[in-house]
Structure 1
Amino acid sequence: MSLTVQFYTMLAMIAMGSFFGASLDTYNRFLKRGKRKRWIIFLNDILFWMLQGLVIFYILFLVNQGEVRFYIFIALVCGFSFYQALLKGIYAKLLEAIIQVVATVWIFFIRFLNGLIISPLKWIVILVVSIFIGIGKVLLGLVQIGLKVLLWIVKVIITPIKWIGKGLWRLFPKKVKFAVERFWTSFAGKLKHSKNKLINGMKWLYTRFKRKP
């Protein structure tokens, strides 16, 4: 490895040490360890350290084909110390400012989206539903009025027929009336007897099927 490559490797590892310090502060800022469960913190820590290791090795591979030397670790520690001493405060303020800007833009976007699309769409849906409900109520009222008119017409038609039937029934001889009444009583009794038989048969079948294991 030439001196130029070693020099570039040192600079790259110092930069990666500072990058690691900034990444660690960013990770702790968003993780909020006091509000997380231990197993979530454990998994996130493993993923964080694996990602940092892969990034550092990738940069090292680009600079010197991935050759690991002792001075590389010293350069990483120097870069991390440089960040902690000089850049940590500046980066923390910059990170908070970026978070505030992103949060403000996000809130504005949500409010804009809600005012431009969601709220009008919601009112349109409410209006359409209200119109359909109103039309349904009107149609239901018309149907009810129509049924009432139809029942009134049927009643008007049936009432004279009923009066005529009663008048004709009075003109029939008593023997005919008695025969008709007897036939109707007999028919009603047979109908009731058949109904009772059907009910008893269904009960018998139900008990038979119920007793089977």
Structure 2
Amino acid sequence: MLAMISMGSFFGATLDTYNRFLKRSVRKRWIVFIHDVMFWLLQGLLIFYILFLVNFGEIRFYIFVALVCGFAAYQALMKTTYLKLLETIINITIAIVSFLKDLFTTIIYNPLKWMIILFITILVGIGKGSYSLVQFILKMILLMVKILFKPIIWICKTFWRVFPTSVKKYIEKFYKGIEGTAKKGTNKLVNGFKFIFGVNRNK
């Protein structure tokens, strides 16, 4: 009897706790239905387990009376106090979780975030600086090459002007011949590759 009266009071407390966290008005009906079925199954199994421990699971009429008496005693004597205690525990838990979250954000998350941002900023700055330096070096090299080769080009142009016409024609002919030979060789090489790859594809 005492065990079933206690389970009746415990059932009342768990029912109020369940309703407090379920929030039926904002839940969909099928979700509420599934949760209700699971809650009642769990309560039934728990009550039967306690009953099995105290009298090996023998069901008597007074067991139901004891459950109802325990539930009624909880509703009349303990419900208001329990709900206030439950709200106090919930508020304390929320405050602790919020404090730990703010502490984690302040001590770990924000410093780590700013370190990563600083590291990425430094890498981007180094990359931009390196790119600008390479551009500057290439421009200086190109300028030096132009300065160095300008006299050579001027000398070559001067010599080209004083060359006899026959020599110029011979040089141009020789250059065109080399150019034509290079083109023919390139075409043959390209055709050879096309032939080889064409044979392989056919296979």
TM-score normalised to structure 1 length: 0.80
**Percent of aligned pairs sharing the same letter:** 56
Query: Which residue number in structure 2 is paired with residue 19 of structure 1?
Result: 10
Structure 2 residue 159 is the aligned partner of structure 1 residue 163: no
Distance 2:12 2:150 in 1: 100
Query: Which residue number in structure 2 is paired with residue 79 of structure 1?
Result: 70
Superposed, which structure 2 residues align to 1:86-97 within 5 Å?
86-97=77-88
Runs of 4+ in 1 over 2 A off after TM superposition: 178-192
Helix, strand or coil: the match of 1:67? coil
Structure 2 residue 142 is the aligned partner of structure 1 residue 151: yes
Deviation string 1:94-144 (CA, Å, 9 cap, x unpaired) is 111111110011101100111111111111111211222222222122111
1:186 positional shift: 7.1
Amino acid in structure 2 at the alignment position of 1:55 = L
1:20 positional shift: 0.6
Query: Which residue number in structure 2 is paired with residue 137 of structure 1?
Result: 128
Distance 1:105 1:72 in 2: 41
Query: Which residue number in structure 1 is paired with residue 109 of structure 2?
Result: 118
Distance 1:123 1:113 in 2: 14
- Say what the alpha-carbon RMSD is for the aligned residues: 2.6
Q: Relative to structure 2, which stretch is displaced further, 142-151 or 174-183?
A: 174-183
Deviation string 1:148-203 (CA, Å, 9 cap, x unpaired) is 111111111221121111112112210222343355567778959x98xx8xxx9x
Query: Which residue number in structure 2 is paired with residue 209 of structure 1?
Result: none
Q: Relative to structure 2, which stretch is displaced further, 94-103 or 178-187?
A: 178-187
Distance 1:107 1:42 in 2: 32
**1:38–1:183: structure 2 CA closer, same or farther, 3 Å change rule?**
farther
Name which of 112, 127, 131 aligns with 2:118: 127
Name which of 63, 66, 69 aligns with 2:54: 63
Gaps of 5+ in 2: 195-203
Structure 2 residue 94 is the aligned partner of structure 1 residue 109: no
Deviation string 1:67-111 (CA, Å, 9 cap, x unpaired) is 111111111111111111221111111111111110011101100
Query: Which residue number in structure 2 is paired with residue 211 of structure 1?
Result: none
TM-score normalised to structure 2 length: 0.84
Deviation string 1:22-61 (CA, Å, 9 cap, x unpaired) is 1111111101111111121111111111111111111112
Distance 1:117 1:39 in 2: 41
Distance 1:58 1:160 in 2: 106
